[in-house]
Amino acid sequence: MSVTPRADLAAIPDYNTPGQAPGAIVLNSNEVPQPPPPPVVEAMARAAAEGHRYPEWFSDTLVSRLSADLAVPGERMAVGCGSVSLCRDLIQAVCGPGDEVLFAWRSFDAYSVFTRVAEARARTVPLDAEHRHDLTAMLDAVTPATRVVFLCNPNNPTGTALGEPALREFLRRLPDRILVVLDEAYREFVTDPAVPDGVELAREHGNLAVLRTFSKAYGLAGVRVGYCVAPPAVVSALHKVSVPFAVSRLAQAAALAALDHAEDVRERCAAVVRERERLREHLLRDGYPVPPSQANFLWLPLAHRTSGFTDFCARHGILVRAFPDEGVRVTVGLPQENDAFLNAASRFASESRTGPGPDRPLNGHDLRAT
């Protein structure tokens, strides 16, 4: 083949995609463990019967519904094929070659990839010692070329969250020519009252965009739909850069039905939060320095033990997400899945102290290579 792709793409690291193994306990993708509620599945089936028709171009019905629920004018709202596509479109809508996109690191890895694909420059600021955004250092990192700042709240993969005073101060001090994208993909799992509601902040700050998704709390990761509250000019620009018909008829129907079952969502999130706190307590007791999480996952800053831990879990049929030499992110699963994970983590901790014991199954889970 003589066709050559863009040369600069070779320098962009591939996504850290989650591993898969048939029959494994999957705690590596920040999904919720239950399928969507039956009425949501039924709404998708009804939409499928009209699969020969294109969906609404800009998801107008869903935009109207979200706009009414959140009391945000429709001109400030856009729907996308998952919030990840809105991350990409926001960069595309605001940045040209050489512009800078600022974000904390480590954070959601898509920010870096999309920035570079747009030929913009990524400027990253390390998280602080408690695995939180260092907002002072981020302000210091702003340059005349900065066009977009991503704040991931709670942060993926550390689960840490910014409180309202710090965020307000940041917004007050940042030049308002810069678009702040507050990524609230995990908003529904937040229990700390100090963590602000981004949509409320967006009412006061004309340069703030807020990203949310149906993938996590609403259990629709496989259906692909998310939304964004943004300044009207940014929404118009999003409409220019987004892929037409990207949000399928099924996805729009599922999101609308899911909004009708908000009580189910709240109950599921409460169960995740209970398990999150139980997991963290056990892990702390086993000596893992796990930061408090406001999301549906926990961060184990294992540094050089990251791959050893991940392989150990995989041998026990449990998939977690490794960030090599940094740490492991584990998603909260069903109670029995979490028990299996805790058993593996306990055994890894004790073997790290005393050396490996016999390779026996944990809680009935077969040892298997993945």
Cβ neighbours around 199 below 10 Å, total: 19
Within residues 156-175, the interface with ligand PMP by CB under 6 A covers: 156
- Provide the minimum distance between the beta carbon of 152 and ligand PMP in the complex, in angstroms, as a whole number: 5
Please report which helix (H) or strand (E) contains residue 258, including its range: helix 249-259
C-alpha span between 31 and 112 (Å, rounded) = 22
Tell me the window of 41-49, 77-85, 89-97, 338-346 that interacts with ligand PMP (CB under 6 A): 77-85
Q: Applying CB under 6 A, does 146 fall inside the site for ligand PMP?
A: no
Within residues 118-137, the interface with ligand PMP by CB under 6 A covers: none
Residue 139: HSE in the Cβ half-sphere, 13 Å Cα cutoff: 13
Closest to ligand PMP by CB, 66 or 344: 66
Q: Nearest 5 degrees, angle CA 363-CA 366-CA 370?
A: 125
Closest to ligand PMP by CB, 37 or 226: 226
- Provide the minimum distance between the beta carbon of 181 and ligand PMP in the complex, in angstroms, as a whole number: 10
User: Could you give the 3-state DSSP secondary structure of residue 299?
Assistant: strand
Q: Applying CB under 6 A, does 59 fall inside the site for ligand PMP?
A: no
Tell me the window of 15-23, 37-45, 63-71, 78-86 that interacts with ligand PMP (CB under 6 A): 78-86
Interface residue with ligand PMP, options 183, 188, 275, 337 (CB under 6 A): 183
Q: Applying CB under 6 A, does 185 fall inside the site for ligand PMP?
A: yes
C-alpha span between 166 and 170 (Å, rounded) = 6
- Provide the minimum distance between the beta carbon of 92 and ligand PMP in the complex, in angstroms, as a whole number: 15
C-alpha span between 142 and 46 (Å, rounded) = 49
Q: Nearest 5 degrees, angle CA 269-CA 272-CA 276?
A: 135
Within residues 192-251, the interface with ligand PMP by CB under 6 A covers: 213, 215, 221, 226
Interface residue with ligand PMP, options 58, 103, 108, 114 (CB under 6 A): 108
Q: Applying CB under 6 A, does 83 fall inside the site for ligand PMP?
A: yes
Contact residues for 234 (Cβ-Cβ < 8 A; gap 6+): 90, 93, 94, 179, 209
Tell me the window of 80-88, 117-125, 298-306, 344-352 that interacts with ligand PMP (CB under 6 A): 80-88
The Cα-based distances of 152 to 4, 102, 103, 127, 130 in angstroms read: 35, 12, 8, 11, 15
Q: Applying CB under 6 A, does 24 fall inside the site for ligand PMP?
A: no
- Provide the minimum distance between the beta carbon of 269 and ligand PMP in the complex, in angstroms, as a whole number: 16
Q: CB of 305 within 8 A of CB of 12?
A: no
Burial class of residue 252 in the structure, from the number of CB atoms within 10 Å of its CB (0-12 exposed, 13-18 middle, 19+ buried):
buried
Tokens for 351, please give them: 């073997």
Closest to ligand PMP by CB, 297 or 309: 297
Tokens for 261, please give them: 């079952």
- Provide the minimum distance between the beta carbon of 2 and ligand PMP in the complex, in angstroms, as a whole number: 35
Tokens for 16, please give them: 């850290």
Q: CB of 155 within 8 A of CB of 103?
A: no
Q: Applying CB under 6 A, does 296 fall inside the site for ligand PMP?
A: no
Q: Applying CB under 6 A, does 30 fall inside the site for ligand PMP?
A: yes
Please report which helix (H) or strand (E) contains residue 151, including its range: strand 146-152
DSSP 8-state secondary structure symbol assigned to residue 147? E
Closest to ligand PMP by CB, 153 or 306: 153
Q: What residue is closest to ligand PMP based on CB?
A: 82
- Provide the minimum distance between the beta carbon of 285 and ligand PMP in the complex, in angstroms, as a whole number: 28
Interface residue with ligand PMP, options 66, 84, 181, 273 (CB under 6 A): 84
Q: Catalog residues that contact ligand PMP under the rule CB under 6 A.
A: 30, 82-84, 108, 152, 156, 183, 185, 213, 215, 221, 226
